[in-house]
Structure 1
Amino acid sequence: MRSIVSRLIYSKSSISRLYTSGLLRNGRLLSTDSNHVDEPFKVEEAETLNVPPPPSDKLLVLGGSGFVGSHVCKEALEQGLSVSSLSRSGRSSIRESWADKVAWHQGNLLVPDSLKDVMNGVTAVISCVGGFGSYSHMYKINGTANINAIRAASEQGVKRFVYISAADFGLVNYLLQGYYEGKKAAEAELLSKFTYGGVVLRPGFIHGTRRVGSMKIPLGVIGSPLEMVLQRAKPLNQIPLVGPLLTPPVNVTTVAKVAVRAATDPVFPPGIVDVYGILRYGHKG
């Protein structure tokens, strides 16, 4: 028994000496029994794994072959997003390299079946769908078509939905009643279905180079100077009756830039963004 206890005491004191005989300092083992400093511990370099980058957000642009929609598609591609588009005409007539990178789909938002497959895997939607004509036609294109898309996106679990609406132009609203009533109905549906991820952009006149067939119409010749003047005259917008007509125009590139940001930035506040908000977000870079 005494022999066993002696061995235990010896073993314990040996462990204690081993512990106190070395101190780890600055990555080196420093012996307290001598002035000898051991070499640093050698650690084998870990093998580098080729981890693929996370998949980019998949953006669906409704009306991507149109004036605003094509600029939205181009801007989204420049941001590194995966972009698809659904419109009645299908592929855009633009013959530029970026257009080949868009997955073009032909469909009609007034036919719900057009939305069954195109929403698969989509994380965000930007709708640029709108049009003019008779009262019923304008209401269906600006209202019903977008409402169908909003409901389909909500059912599919899409995270964010951006709708390109229009500024309030006062008297003009009465002349284009179906247009504005349709847009208001779509706005209400969006804010109801996408409480935390729905954004309504309300630009005024959108200017830039517009294509009509093979022709290019430089709307910026008029729109750009007006934008510079009227954005500094915001108080005039409050004048009864004529005030809304002084809403500043916005460049189509700015609208596209803000729309893509609203669709992809999780901290972009939901709700309605008026023309002055669009200009402000556009200037932030």
Structure 2
Amino acid sequence: MSAADDRPTPSLTVLVTGGRGFIGSHIVAALLERGHRVRIVTRSATASEGDERIEWLPLDLASATRPEAFSAALDGVDAIVNCAGILREVGRDRFPILHGDMPAALAEAASLRGIQRFVQISALGNPADGEFVASKHQGDARIAATLPESVILRPSLVYSAKSSYGGTSLLRSLAALPLTLLPSGGNQCTQPVAASDLARLVCAAIESQPIRRSKPYDAGGPTTVTLRDYLSAIRHWLGLPPNIAVGIPSWIAEVGATLGEWSGRGPLGLTMWRMLNRGNVCA
């Protein structure tokens, strides 16, 4: 190892979109732990709760579809992490804007400023499963076209002991039921990755020298598990006794997902179900 490898990483100012979210909050914590300063853009700016390393900047990302929208946000910024995203469209929050136009504008603004360190948090899945995944991958392509140095991460199911979101919330809910219903016997596979591990990967990406070969990287944990085993592990972690698991036809789960999609409530929707049923593992 060279002497240069022993040098501490210089402190960077990192702009984080979606910094209040499930994944974003873990990334912010990891950046701070590594000694970096963080600027979080949010619709309603709040006090930084005494942490001088965090700056809150008001910005409505649903309206930030042109590079100039990020003019103030990028002042003095060394790196960018885009964690912003939605699972469902609500009001002005639309997939094509928040997953496509906004990240593309942010990447163009970064390019104009000469900011090469850009990490995009995307999603592992097949675009045919729904607009959530399709719009994420379309946004990835637009970022890569503008910033060849960007790093695009597509995580599998992301979990944390502290909180949950999306697919993790769905699986926690299923695991807590007195009777576990397993579509197609629960043989679907996933590759869960800890939010803290994903956050450390993001830190490593922005601290590395930018490379001109942008491409999507699948991000998963070390183990591939079936839905049946994963629900059993969650139930054990929740401190619940073993229960009865019953296999059900997949069409029954799809009906439930359709109802969840129509109601717009709860973690279960058609896209989440299709991603889960197809399996969510790294290539």
Q: Which has the higher contact order (CA 8 A, sep 6+)?
A: 2
TM range (shorter): 0.5 to 0.7
Verify: 1:198 aligned to 2:198, yes or no.
no
CA distance in 2, matches of 1:54, 1:273: 23
Which of the residues 239, 244, 250 maps onto 2:193? 250
Q: How high is the TM-score relative to the length of structure 2?
A: 0.59
- Runs of 5+ in structure 2 lacking a partner? 1-7, 176-185, 224-283
Amino acid at match of 1:252: A
TM-aligned CA deviation for residue 102 of structure 1: 0.6
Q: What secondary structure, in the 3-state scheme, does the structure 2 residue paired with 1:191 have?
A: helix
Say what the alpha-carbon RMSD is for the aligned residues: 3.5
The answer as to whether partners of 2:158 and 2:195 remain within 8 angstroms in 1 is: yes
Match of 1:103 in 2: 55
**1:123–1:279: structure 2 CA closer, same or farther, 3 Å change rule?**
farther
Verify: 1:61 aligned to 2:16, yes or no.
yes
Which of the residues 99, 110, 117 maps onto 2:72? 117
Match of 2:215 in 1: 271
Correspondence 1:67-86 to 2 at 5 A: 67-86=22-41
CA distance in 2, matches of 1:137, 1:91: 24
The aligned length equals 196
Amino acid at match of 1:198: S
1:236-285 CA distance string (max 9 Å, x none):
xxxxxx99x52312111111111121112116774221024x759xxxxx
Identity of aligned residues (%): 24
The answer as to whether partners of 2:124 and 2:133 remain within 8 angstroms in 1 is: no
Larger Rg: 1
Amino acid at match of 2:104: I
CA distance in 2, matches of 1:54, 1:130: 29
Correspondence 1:140-179 to 2 at 5 A: 140-168=97-125, 170=126, 173-177=127-131, 179=132
Match of 2:84 in 1: 129
TM-aligned CA deviation for residue 159 of structure 1: 1.7
**1:174–1:265: structure 2 CA closer, same or farther, 3 Å change rule?**
same
TM-aligned CA deviation for residue 54 of structure 1: 9.8
The answer as to whether partners of 1:204 and 1:248 remain within 8 angstroms in 2 is: yes
The answer as to whether partners of 1:165 and 1:202 remain within 8 angstroms in 2 is: yes
The answer as to whether partners of 2:191 and 2:222 remain within 8 angstroms in 1 is: no
Which of the residues 260, 267, 284 maps onto 2:203? 260
**1:157–1:210: structure 2 CA closer, same or farther, 3 Å change rule?**
same
The answer as to whether partners of 2:24 and 2:83 remain within 8 angstroms in 1 is: yes
The answer as to whether partners of 1:207 and 1:220 remain within 8 angstroms in 2 is: no
1:142-195 CA distance string (max 9 Å, x none):
112211111111111112110000001x4xx44522x12221121111211221
